[in-house]
Structure 1
Amino acid sequence: MTNDDGIDSPGLAMLADVAAGAGLDVVVAAPDRQYSGASAAVTAVQEQGRTVTEERPTLAGAPAHAVRAAPAHIVVLALGGWLDPPPELVLSGINRGANVGRAILHSGTVGAALTAGQFGARGLAVSLDVPLGGTEPEHWDAVREHVGTVLPLLRDAAAGSTYSLNVPDRPADEHRELRTAPLDAEGTVRTLVEESGVDGVLLREVGTDRPAEPGADRALLAAGHPTLTALGGLREVTPPALPVGAAR
């Protein structure tokens, strides 16, 4: 189990509790700090060639490790021999903020789950739709029921399967039914250049102003539906026709 909000995130503690309650044998290994936007980067802080790790107090009774690395790097470690036996499932989250639309390309939460799939494990990214700049208490416990529904699907899925679950940030009794959903063309936020000069570039995150696509994940989530999207990893598409005489 990992995330991109860091090992002290309340979402990680909740997900560990849900997984342990479902009878899974849980090991927590998460970044020691915020790694949002890390995508599937495998960067890490190393000393004498070793990725730096630190044991932490248990989460939901599970052993916990703070790792000075991006979440996808942690997944590579876990599946590459650090954990014995290597995990069959990689749960990533619960992210503070939705991961919807094609913008999930940049998400460290989703990147960890996709990396698990690339290595032949099964990955699940879980996100709570906390609004940008939100100040109200988050409804982490509202995720519990939906993760419980999705976990059996994940365990029965083919090796390499990757799912993304998004949950409305409202009490569970206000949720509508769980829906499968395609990706919207955009996410919930976008990044703009606020200032630029000789000292560098200042970026600012703002909510997207493009209408959500009906039936896609962003629209369904805004309407109160938890959404589940099956994701595919990197793969080829049909190449363009080469001009006559092009190098072979």
Structure 2
Amino acid sequence: MRILLVNDDGIHGEGLFVLAKELAGRHDVYVCAPNREQSGMSQALSVGVPLRVSDERLDLPVKKALSVDGRPADCTKLALEILFKDEQIDMVISGINKGANLGTDVLYSGTVGAALEGYNHNVRSLAVSVSGKSAVSFEQIAEIIAAKLDYFYQTGEKFMYNINFPLALNSDKIEFVFTKQGFRRYENEFHTVELSDGSTAYKMQGNAQDIGNDEFTDIAAVKRGCISVTPLTLERTDFAKLNKLNSLK
């Protein structure tokens, strides 16, 4: 399989390195990632901005590794349309992200945004994340994803699966659970920061609040020690509201 690896933690992110190392032995792996951390960038693109691309030596048996001075979705888009256009990439994998992307996190996540850009190009795509407090190592996650890759590939010609690992795996077995997106709200706490020039700025550090999530959500599955797999799409239409509005005519 020809795999494009991207992320939002940057070209030297540990999760990317471990996943590339695990997959390169059995697949043709191409890496294209931001040259620095780009968390929280969602699917933003650097429109009208020149993007510098640099060769990277990752000391891994990958086919090619490139960094881009842009955002995660820039990397996927540029790789699929220009940099690795002739390679006919079979799958885009974004991650492994250090930080969960559960519920409404998907609206902001650069990891998810990079994978959605692959989906937008009709390429099978995965976003893989785990809480920074998890006892599950990047090595374990990479092994599990590698073992499950053929299964995911055969589930459809086009998909985007948002995969989240729990704080600890169930002791009896590794369990993937297909879930719906849950709801996660943040109580944003803005901290006042005084800059070197004496001016004031604000730094956001939100606390996650998981509210009203039933057993079929990604949030609940991860809390049970399962690996959550949520199929996402680009569709954002509120069909219930649309039908109501049309009925008012």
- Give the TM-score band, short-chain normalised: 0.7 to 0.9
Deviation at 1:224, TM superposition (A): 1.2
Partner in structure 2 of residue 9 of structure 1: 13
Partner in structure 1 of residue 79 of structure 2: 78
Structure 2 distance, partners of 1:177, 1:157, is: 17
Structure 2 distance, partners of 1:193, 1:202, is: 5
Stretches of structure 2 that go unaligned for 5 or more consecutive residues are none
Residue identity in the other structure for 1:65: L
Residue identity in the other structure for 2:184: E
Within 5 Å, give how 1:55-70 maps onto structure 2. 55-58=55-58, 60-62=60-62, 63-70=64-71
Partner in structure 2 of residue 24 of structure 1: 27
SS of the residue aligned with 1:227? strand
Partner in structure 2 of residue 193 of structure 1: 190
Change (3 A) 1:174 1:157: closer
Residue identity in the other structure for 2:68: V
Residue identity in the other structure for 1:71: P
Q: 215-224 vs 163-172, which deviates more?
A: 163-172
The structure 2 residue matched to 1:108, chosen from 110, 124, 133, is 110
Structure 2 distance, partners of 1:64, 1:8, is: 11
The structure 1 residue matched to 2:39, chosen from 24, 36, 56, is 36
Deviation at 1:93, TM superposition (A): 0.1
Note if contact 2:160-2:233 (Cα within 8 Å) is conserved in structure 1: yes
Note if contact 1:165-1:229 (Cα within 8 Å) is conserved in structure 2: yes
Partner in structure 1 of residue 138 of structure 2: 140
Structure 2 distance, partners of 1:72, 1:98, is: 18
Structure 2 distance, partners of 1:59, 1:159, is: 32
The structure 1 residue matched to 2:152, chosen from 151, 154, 167, is 154
Structure 2 distance, partners of 1:75, 1:55, is: 16
SS of the residue aligned with 2:77? helix
Deviation at 1:8, TM superposition (A): 0.9
The structure 1 residue matched to 2:246, chosen from 225, 241, 246, is 241
How many equivalent residue pairs?
Answer: 235
Q: 57-66 vs 211-220, which deviates more?
A: 211-220
Normalising by the residue count of structure 1, what TM-score does the alignment of the two structures yield?
0.82
Deviation at 1:67, TM superposition (A): 1.0
Deviation at 1:176, TM superposition (A): 4.7
Q: 54-63 vs 93-102, which deviates more?
A: 54-63
Deviation at 1:98, TM superposition (A): 0.9
Change (3 A) 1:70 1:171: same
SS of the residue aligned with 1:92? strand
Structure 2 distance, partners of 1:172, 1:15, is: 22
Note if contact 2:11-2:33 (Cα within 8 Å) is conserved in structure 1: yes
Change (3 A) 1:66 1:138: farther
Stretches of structure 1 that go unaligned for 5 or more consecutive residues are none
Structure 1 distance, partners of 2:193, 2:213, is: 30
SS of the residue aligned with 2:55? strand
RMSD: 2.8
Deviation at 1:209, TM superposition (A): 5.8
Partner in structure 2 of residue 178 of structure 1: 176
Note if contact 2:169-2:225 (Cα within 8 Å) is conserved in structure 1: no
Structure 1 distance, partners of 2:118, 2:14, is: 23
